[in-house]
């Protein structure tokens, strides 16, 4: 069963919050395995939405210059 739009919005928010928490803890660079391991979802739709929230959460603090580095941590299915 596919998640609803509401459920996916919650998943996005969890990804965004995870990025903000990580940034608050201070690391400026991300280990790709660490960031991928933070994504708790299994379905493609949920993993993709969480990753989008996580990426946008990071960008909201670091600006667009970090976009090139963000692609390095995405799980294989989130391209």
pLDDT tens digits, one per residue of 17-72? 998 888 888 766 666 667 788 999 999 999 999 999 998 988 886 554 455 455 55
More confident residue, 73 or 24: 24
Global pTM value? 0.71
- Structural domain span for residue 47: 5-78
- What are the DSSP calls for 13-77, one per residue? HHHHHHHHHHHHT--SS--HHHHHHH----SHHHHHHHHHHHHHHHHHHH-GGGHHHHTTTS-GG
Total number of domains constituting the chain: 1
Query: How high is the pLDDT of residue 59?
Result: 84
């Amino acid at each position: 069963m596919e998640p609803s739009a509401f459920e996916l919005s919650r998943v996005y928010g969890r990804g965004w919050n995870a990025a903000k928490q990580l940034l608050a803890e201070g690391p400026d660079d991300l280990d790709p395995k660490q960031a991928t391991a933070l994504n708790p979802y299994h379905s493609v739709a949920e993993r993709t939405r969480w990753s989008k929230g996580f990426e946008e959460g990071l960008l909201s603090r670091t600006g667009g210059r970090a976009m090139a580095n963000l692609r390095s941590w995405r799980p294989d299915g989130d391209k």
